[in-house]
Amino acid sequence: MGKPKTVIEKIWDKHVVHHEEGRPDLLYIDLHLVHEVTSPQAFEGLRMKGRKVRQPHLTFATMDHNVPTVHRNVIKDEISKKQMDQLQKNCTEFEIPLADINHKHQGIVHVIGPELGLTQPGKTIVCGDSHTSTHGAFGALAFGIGTSEVEHVLATQTIWQSKPKTLNVKVDGNLGTGVTAKDLILAIIGKFGVKFGTGYVIEYTGEAIRNLSMEGRMTICNMSIEAGARAGLVSPDEKTVDFLRGRKYAPPETEFDHIASEWLELATDEDAVYDATVEINADEIEPQVTWGTNPSMCIPINGNIPNPNNTDNENERNEINHALDYMGLKADTPITSVPIEHVFIGSCTNSRLADLERAASIIKGKKVNPNVRAIVVPGSQSVKAAAEEQGLDNIFKEAGFEWRGAGCSMCLAMNGDIVPAGERCASTSNRNFEGRQGAGARTHLVSPEMAAAAAIEGKFVDVRTLSVPTA
Amino acid sequence: MEPLKKHNGLVYPLNRANVDTDQIIPKQFLKRISRQGFGQFLFYNWRFDEKDQLKPDFSLNDPKYSNASILVAGDNFGCGSSREHAPWALQDFGFKVIIAPSFADIFYNNCTKNGILPVKLTDLEVQELINNAEADDYYITVDLEKKKVFDSNGFEANFDLADYPREMLLNGWDEISVTLTHSNKIDAFETKHTVH
């Protein structure tokens, strides 16, 4: 028996192309996901140097950030259109598979990877997008890269990386009814801060993580970057295997069981040692709402907005004051008293079928508050089709939600789906940064259930107090 | 990229922690398909009002900083989105060096790939630089060969930067060309590595 290893070390060791003491390793990349925003300059770089894409078949592209979610083929913004046209042109020239705007597999890159079975345990996965950490839910080592690195991976199928430190985020106990993976990751970031993961790859372990669905694990891993960690993952288990069986790009049935047994062996060994460990108990977690301008600024639904005078640290006080000012909030007021004007259910964090099903269960038979404009943006064309098959679109539409086409949409408001300045949005996305959903827009991050409940009530409300028909 | 060995320049102090890349360059400016011309959009929502007029109360709009080339900021600089447009905007605006107590990982990498030097100093050292720069026109020198930051009044601090990015910055190498010298190793790896 060799030294016990974490899943992170096992994946790393299988991908080292070149190692030299005191230098970063040259790491092989198994899957390179590409979208329209962070790739044009990389392809241009290749062209200028006369370089080719080394492994087009390990590369997969889609369009998500810029795509309109209504009237999809009428792209009013010419620069957006140019960026999408450019991706089409680049994929044709460099022979890269592309799910374009009208393709049935189009969607948010971090939703379609798992959906198509491209995302698999043990793979090294990169994309020019910080939420690439999502794919870690499958026991893959997946992280976001910049455009220079996109060009590097296109040209060489490798990347220079220093071996990361490992961080075990151990979640014992179980989430209560109405408390979701989103609440858990917000609570983790709320407790440990927006940079506790910097320099680390996180592995999420413990009973509460094992009991999460694959969708829940994706939500958790997705927001690893909001804790500073480029990658966050969960050891593969039977749930991982079951999710992938039969997917389009998963191994064929004849080889599947054999390969799945190799995947399961990647799970962290019992006595493996991490560089650091933090713990949190899921039993204690309540539905969360962010009040400020980074994801660590969150409170339980029954909490009050913090008072800057309760801290002696001057920098912290300034930060709270700045956030309160931007968000237009008063210290010490209950978050449940804050009215909202917008609801966004979508994004790579929370736009999968399971997310939409849970949100729909809250709003079924109810009406969106007249002061609220609420939109649902499925994560992919496949999610949209599956939801429509179940009639979820009708539930949303009858309640007064707008039912949109697939894309990143209002998470970063690049496609024209914008929250106006000074207005407030309950959003299932991942970043409540200043201006994220539009200049001056005020974002509150919540779970799909909490967003749905806020849409009905016109303000934040504890979803656990609503009468919900049992499924 | 341009080599960067030693740089003397005017400091612009930005006394804020957790400056995210959405602040450095908001999303509406990510639609361009070239690497050039992003400087005009740097810190757009802080520098410009809703009518696209410069806000006089935002310090970077003070003409005295128009030649600043060293940005000194608070903890966790560059967090959030992986957009390389952030270092492109900083560089195009004129910044060559960024000093902070800590940086987000992706942003830090992106800087070194573009010839921008990210320097980690302690909280106290950063605070001293910020105080000096807020008080008066303040020039410092950053020496990458000696891994030192100093001014003409006795401030001196050492910083660390891993050998690999340091060499890349000192020499201004094209990283892909370096990697391609290992092509035979990549070829050999691919013959024994299976991707399902």
What pLDDT was estimated at residue B178? 95
Query: A-chain residues within 8 Å CB-CB of B32?
Result: 79
ipTM exceeding 0.90, yes/no = yes
Chain B residue with minimal CA distance to A23?
B164
What does the alpha-carbon distance between residue A326 and residue A293 come to, in Å, rounded to a whole number?
A: 8
In this predicted structure, the answer to whether residue A72 has a pLDDT above a threshold of 90 is: no
Q: CB-CB: which of B33, B74, B179 is closest to A41?
A: B33
Q: Which of A321-325, A464-468, B18-22, B79-83 has the lowest mean pLDDT?
A: A464-468
What does the alpha-carbon distance between residue B55 and residue A214 come to, in Å, rounded to a whole number?
A: 47
Mark yes or no for CB contact A319/B18 under 8 Å: yes
pLDDT digits (tens, 9 = 90+) for A405-444: 999 999 999 999 999 999 999 999 999 999 999 999 999 9
What is the 8-class DSSP label of residue A126? E
What would the mean pLDDT of A262-291 be, rounded to a whole number? 98
Mark yes or no for CB contact A433/B83 under 8 Å: no
User: If phi over 0 gives left and psi between -120 and 50 gives alpha, with beta otherwise, what is residue A328?
Assistant: left
What does the alpha-carbon distance between residue A203 and residue A138 come to, in Å, rounded to a whole number?
A: 11
What pLDDT was estimated at residue A470? 46
Residue in B23, B25, B30 to test binding to A, most A beta-carbons within 10 Å: B30
Mean pLDDT rounded to a whole number for chain A: 96
Q: CB-CB: which of B74, B79, B180 is closest to A156?
A: B180
Residue pairs between chains A and B whose CB atoms are closer than 8 Å: 171
Q: How far is B5 from chain A (nearest CA, A)?
A: 20
What is the 8-class DSSP label of residue A5? -
Chain A residue with minimal CA distance to B162?
A23
What pLDDT was estimated at residue B1? 86
A77 at the B interface (CB within 8 A)? Answer: yes
In this predicted structure, the answer to whether residue A469 has a pLDDT above a threshold of 60 is: no
What pLDDT was estimated at residue B11? 98
What pLDDT was estimated at residue A471? 41
Neighbours of B154 (CB within 10 A): 6
Query: B-chain residues within 8 Å CB-CB of A227?
Result: none
In this predicted structure, the answer to whether residue A119 has a pLDDT above a threshold of 70 is: yes
| pTM for the model | 0.97
B135 at the A interface (CB within 8 A)? Answer: no
A409 at the B interface (CB within 8 A)? Answer: no
What would the mean pLDDT of A117-142 be, rounded to a whole number? 98
Mark yes or no for CB contact B179/A156 under 8 Å: yes
Which residues of chain B carry a pLDDT beneath 70? Answer: none
What pLDDT was estimated at residue A339? 97
> In terms of C-beta distances under 8 Å and separation of at least 24 residues, what long-range contacts does A385-393 make, across chains too?
A385/A104, A386/A353, A387/A353, A387/A356, A387/A357, A390/A357, A392/A356, A392/A357, A392/A360
Q: How far is A37 from chain B (nearest CA, A)?
A: 6
Contact indicator for A116, A247 with CB cutoff of 8 Å = yes
pLDDT digits (tens, 9 = 90+) for A340-376: 999 999 999 999 999 999 999 999 999 999 999 999 9
Q: CB-CB: which of A17, A28, A148 is closest to B113?
A: A148
Percentage, residues of chain A above pLDDT 90 = 96
Mark yes or no for CB contact B33/A82 under 8 Å: yes
Element (H, E) at A279: strand A276-281
Sign of the alpha-carbon torsion through A99, A105, A111, A117: negative
pLDDT digits (tens, 9 = 90+) for A165-218: 999 999 999 999 999 999 999 999 999 999 999 999 999 999 999 999 999 999
Query: B-chain residues within 8 Å CB-CB of A24?
Result: 162, 164
SS3 letters across chain B: CCCCCEEEEEEEEECCCCCEHHHHCCHHHCCCCCCCCCHHHCCHHHHECCCCCECCCCHHHCHHHCCEEEEEECCCECECCCCCHHHHHHHHHCCCEEEECCECHHHHHHHHCCCCEEEECCHHHHHHHHHHHHHCCCEEEEECCCCEEECCCCCEEECCCCHHHHHHHHHCCCHHHHHHCCHHHHHHHHHHCCCC
A1: confidence class by pLDDT, cuts 50, 70, 90: low
Rounded to a whole number, what is the distance in angstroms from the first to the last CA of chain A?
48
A41 at the B interface (CB within 8 A)? Answer: yes
Sign of the alpha-carbon torsion through A345, A351, A355, A357: positive
Type of residue numbered B6: K
A315: confidence class by pLDDT, cuts 50, 70, 90: confident
- Cα B20 to Cα A127, A140, A433, B27, B85: the distances in Å are 19, 26, 8, 12, 12
Percentage, residues of chain A above pLDDT 70 = 99
Tokens of A2: 């060799």
Three-point CA angle B187, B192, B196, nearest 5°: 105
What does the alpha-carbon distance between residue A172 and residue A281 come to, in Å, rounded to a whole number?
A: 5
Q: CB-CB: which of B30, B162, B185 is closest to A37?
A: B30
Tell me which residues of chain A, numbers 227 to 266, contact chain B at a CB-CB cutoff of 8 Å: 228, 230, 250-251, 255, 259
A90 at the B interface (CB within 8 A)? Answer: no
What does the alpha-carbon distance between residue B153 and residue B156 come to, in Å, rounded to a whole number?
A: 9
Q: How many helices (H) and strands (E) does chain A have?
A: 15, 19
Sign of the alpha-carbon torsion through A187, A442, A106, B33: negative
B76 at the A interface (CB within 8 A)? Answer: yes
Contact indicator for B157, B143 with CB cutoff of 8 Å = no
Query: A-chain residues within 8 Å CB-CB of B83?
Result: 37-38, 146
Task: List phi, psi (to 5°) of B102.
Answer: -160, 160
Mark yes or no for CB contact A28/B109 under 8 Å: no
Mark yes or no for CB contact A51/B176 under 8 Å: yes
Strands A424-427 vs A342-345: parallel, antiparallel or unpaired: parallel
Query: A-chain residues within 8 Å CB-CB of B113?
Result: 146, 148-149
pLDDT digits (tens, 9 = 90+) for A25-63: 999 999 999 999 999 999 999 999 999 999 999 999 999
Element (H, E) at A172: strand A165-172
Sign of the alpha-carbon torsion through B118, B122, B123, B129: negative
What does the alpha-carbon distance between residue A442 and residue A419 come to, in Å, rounded to a whole number?
A: 8
What does the alpha-carbon distance between residue A156 and residue B76 come to, in Å, rounded to a whole number?
A: 31
